[in-house]
Each structure stands twice: as C-alpha cells, then as structure tokens.
Amino acid sequence: MTDNSRAVAATIAGAMIGGLAGYVLFTERGRAVRRQFEPALDNFVRELNSFRLTVEKAAGAASEGWKLLNEAMESGSQRSRYPSVHQTSPF
C-alpha cells in the first residue's frame, strides 16, 4: 500500500466517522438513536465487568490450587524416609 492510498483511506475513514458522530450528536433522530443505544451499552459494560470478575475469581482459584500443589510437592520431597531420632517430651 502506498502512502497516497493510505492517506486517501484515512481521509475516507475520518469523514465517515465524523459524519456518524455529527449525525448522532447534532440531529434529533441521532439523539433518539443514541438514547436507545445507551441502555444496551450500559448492559454490555455491566456484563463485561461481571465477566472480568468471574475470570479474576477463576484465576485466583487456579493460583491457590497451584500454590497448594507446589507446597504439597515440596513437603513430600523434604520428608525423610526414617523417623526422627529425637524423642519429644509428653509434658
């Protein structure tokens, strides 16, 4: 892609975005569309936040699982085959 074609593509994309923004912000029908779209967008944001919290909880649970597994593996490898020769006091 040449620099000229990139500039033309960027100009067209900018004009389309600007036209859409102008329609939504400055016309009555655009405002009505925006008012209908905002609740759906709020619901979408709420669902994304809920999903993010679910993923964070799952990651925390997986992390705890790995930590417990590593601790179990370490304690198993540090255990001696033979019991301790030291006697503990019952009192």
- 20 to 13, 26, 59: CA distances (angstroms): 11, 10, 40
Q: Are 68 and 58 in contact (CB under 8 A)?
A: no
Largest CA distance in the chain: 90
- In this prediction, residue 85 carries a pLDDT of 59
Tell me which of 16 and 3 has the higher pLDDT: 16
Where residue 86 falls (left for φ over 0; alpha for ψ -120 to 50; beta otherwise) is: beta
Looking at the chain, the number of H-run helices and the number of E-run strands are 2, 0
pLDDT in tens, 54-90: 999 999 999 999 999 888 888 766 555 555 556 666 6
- In this prediction, residue 78 carries a pLDDT of 58
pTM: 0.49
pLDDT in tens, 4-62: 999 999 999 999 999 999 998 999 999 999 899 999 999 999 999 999 999 999 999 99
